[in-house]
Amino acid sequence: MEKTVNHKAWFLVLPVLILVAFSAVIPLMTVVNYSVQDTFGNNVFFWAGLDWFEQLLASDRMWNALQRQLVFSGIILAIEVPLGIFVALNMPKKGFWASVCLVLMSLPLLIPWNVVGTIWQIFARVDIGLLGYTLRSLGINYNYTQDFFAAWTTVIVMDVWHWTSLVALLAYAGLQSIPDAYYQAAKIDQASRWAVFRYIELPKMSGVLMIAILLRFMDSFMIYTEPFVVTGGGPGNATTFLSIDLVKMALGQFDLGPAAAFSIMYFLVILTISYVFYIVMTNLDKRDGTQ
C-alpha cells in the first residue's frame, strides 16, 4: 500500500515547536552562547572557547559549593525519608482523624518558599524570634548569622519542616494501597512488627519512595530561596549552595561567562544523577521480575 504524503501535518506540530523554542531551547542556547564567549557589554563578544570551564574546574569555588550541596542534600534525604515513613506509619488509616492529618500534613507544602524562609528567619532570630530567643535564654549559644553550625542546623530544620510532609504523604499513599489480606497473613505467620515493615510495607512503598527520593533530591539540589532569605549564604560561605553561588557570580559580580559555564555544568550534574537514578530504579524492577 502506498503511503499518503501530506506535509500539511507539519503545521499542526508548529505551535509546540514554537512554544518549546521560546521557553526552553532559545534561553538554553543563550546560556551556551555566554559560556564560550567573553563580553564587555553592548553585545560585543569575543570567542573564549572552553576557558571559562577550565577556569572554574581549576578553582576551588565551584567544588566547595558542590561539596556543601551534596552534604546538604544527603543530610536532608537521610532525615526526611525515614521521618516521612515514620509519620506515614503512624497516621490514622481512615476516619475523621485521617482527613485532619492529611490537611495538616499538606499545609507546609502550600506555603511559598520565600514565606517559609521569612517565617524561619524571624522565628530563629535571637532578638525577637521565639526559637532563637528561647534557645539563648536557655544558655545555648545559638546565632545563625554568626555561627556555622547554627546556620546549617537552621537551614536543615527548615527544609525538614517544609518537605517531610511530601515524603510522608507519598509513603502514606503507598501504605493505603496495601490490601488488608497482607496484614492478616502476616498475623497468621506470626510476623513481628519489624518483619511486617521490612517484608510488606517497605516493598509495597518502594515505588513511591523512589519518586519521593528523586523529587527531594532534585529539589534540594536546586535549593535557593529559603537559605537566601534566612542566611543569605552565610556566615561567610557556610550555606552558599550551588544556586546561591551561581546567582552571586552572575548577578552579584556580573561574571556572565563563568556563570553560564557554571549553569551548564550544574545542569549536567543534575541530569546525570537523575539519569543514573532512573536507570538503577528500572533495572532493579526488571531484575526482580525476570530473575
Partner 1 sequence: MAQITLKNLAHSYLPNPSQEDDWALKEIDHVWRDGEAYALLGPSGCGKSTLLNIISGLLIPSQGSILFNGNDVTEAPTAQRNIAQVFQFPVVYDTMTVRENLAFPLKNRGLDAGIIKERVERIGDMIGMTDQLDRKARGLAADAKQKISLGRGMVREDVNALLFDEPLTVIDPHMKWQLRTQLKELHRQFGHTMIYVTHDQTEALTFADRVVVMHDGRVVQIGTPDELFERPEHTFVGYFIGSPGMNFLECSVEGETATVDGNRIALGSDYGRPSGRIQLGVRPEHVKLSKGEGLPATIDRVEDVGRHRIVRARVLGAPLNIIAGEGEAIATDGQTVVFEPGRVNIYSDDWRVEPHGSSVGRRAA
- By CB under 8 A, name the binding residues for partner 1: 179, 181-182, 184-185, 187-192, 195, 199-200, 203-204, 288-291
Cα angle at 65 between 132 and 252, to 5 degrees?
A: 85
d(CA 155, CA 219): 14
CB of 203 to partner 1, least distance (A): 5
Beta-carbon contacts of residue 116 (< 8 Å; ≥ 6 apart): 108, 158, 161, 162, 226
Paired sense of beta strands 37-39 and 45-47, if any: antiparallel
CB of 187 to partner 1, least distance (A): 4
**Residue (43 or 190) nearer to partner 1, CB:** 190
CB of 281 to partner 1, least distance (A): 15
CB of 183 to partner 1, least distance (A): 9
State the sign of the Cα–Cα–Cα–Cα dihedral 192, 198, 204, 210: positive
CB of 204 to partner 1, least distance (A): 8
Beta-carbon contacts of residue 166 (< 8 Å; ≥ 6 apart): 84, 109, 212, 215, 216
**Residue (136 or 204) nearer to partner 1, CB:** 204
CB of 208 to partner 1, least distance (A): 15
**Residue (93 or 268) nearer to partner 1, CB:** 93
Question: How many C-beta neighbours within 10 Å does residue 48 have?
Answer: 19
d(CA 208, CA 216): 12
d(CA 168, CA 108): 12
User: Which ranges of 21-147 would DSSP assign to H, the alpha helix?
Assistant: 26-35, 51-58, 60-90, 96-110, 113-123, 130-137
Which residue type does 168 have?
A: A
**Residue (1 or 188) nearer to partner 1, CB:** 188
**Residue (178 or 273) nearer to partner 1, CB:** 178
**Residue (199 or 224) nearer to partner 1, CB:** 199
